[in-house]
Amino acid sequence: MTDTDNDFELVNSFISGNQAAFNKIVLKYQQKIYWHARRMTGNHLDADEVVQEVLIVLYNKLKDFQFKSSLYTWIYKITSTRSINYLKKRNLRQIFSFDDLEAKSVSSSEDVIKDLETKEKLDRLEKALQKVPLRQREVFIMRNFDEMSYEEISEITGITTGGLKANYFHAMKKIMEIMQNNEN
């Protein structure tokens, strides 16, 4: 049985009222949702919030899913939209000083990464990622970490492959420059 067939069965089973099928879908995709949200938001607490928002949307909208794309692409689309919306709200909260991003990024006790060296490397990357525009950041993450093709990214973001490549080049140069400057 292929992965898509399995997803199809799980979705149909959930629509028929089987709550365990929803749990299986979550178990299958939660790490991908988490890591996209984490790289977009730059910290664990915000990523956790985005994961919960995505699951709520997923639960409410899954009955309308018609398999026009793969379930993974559809979930990724929701995650991408929720992450961007969350970041826009967070920026607003920061403007009105309701939120302290620095406090979130240094709160290591709440993190899921236990290896200190990896955590330091990830911190440096997350800080650099936060300095590039949202759309560039998103393409950079999808291409480098989720290893998606430009066509897949285009389907999710609605941006042409040419536009995506331009965003990717800008992001790559800027992030490399920031990280090299931080090392020196």
Partner 1 sequence: MKTNNKIIEYLDDQLSQAEKASFENELKASPGLQSEFQQYKKFKENLSQLRDIEVDESYFIETIPKFRTRQSVLKRYGVVPKLTLSLSTLLAVALVFVLVFSRSNKVAIPNKVVVVDSSGVDFSTLLDPSSDNFNLNYISSNEASHYDSLLNSMITKALDLSPDELSYVAPSNNSDLTSLLQNINEKEADNIYNEVLKQKILGR
Summarize as ranges the residues that interact with partner 1 (CB under 8 A): 23, 26-27, 30-31, 34-35, 48, 51-52, 55-56, 59, 112-115, 118, 121-122, 125, 143-145, 165, 168-169, 172-173, 176, 179-180
Minimum Å gap between C-beta 6 and partner 1 is 18
Minimum Å gap between C-beta 49 and partner 1 is 10
10 Å Cβ neighbour count for 4? 12
- 8 versus 59: smaller Cβ distance to partner 1: 59
- 15 versus 179: smaller Cβ distance to partner 1: 179
Minimum Å gap between C-beta 68 and partner 1 is 25
- 69 versus 179: smaller Cβ distance to partner 1: 179
Which two structure tokens, joined as six digits, stand for 184?
Answer: 């020196």
Three-class SS state of 16: coil
Alpha helix ranges (H) inside 96-149? 101-106, 116-129, 134-144
- 9 versus 120: smaller Cβ distance to partner 1: 120
C-alpha pair distances (Å), 137 with each of 116, 134, 174, 176, 184: 24, 5, 10, 13, 23
Distance CA 114, CA 119 (A): 7
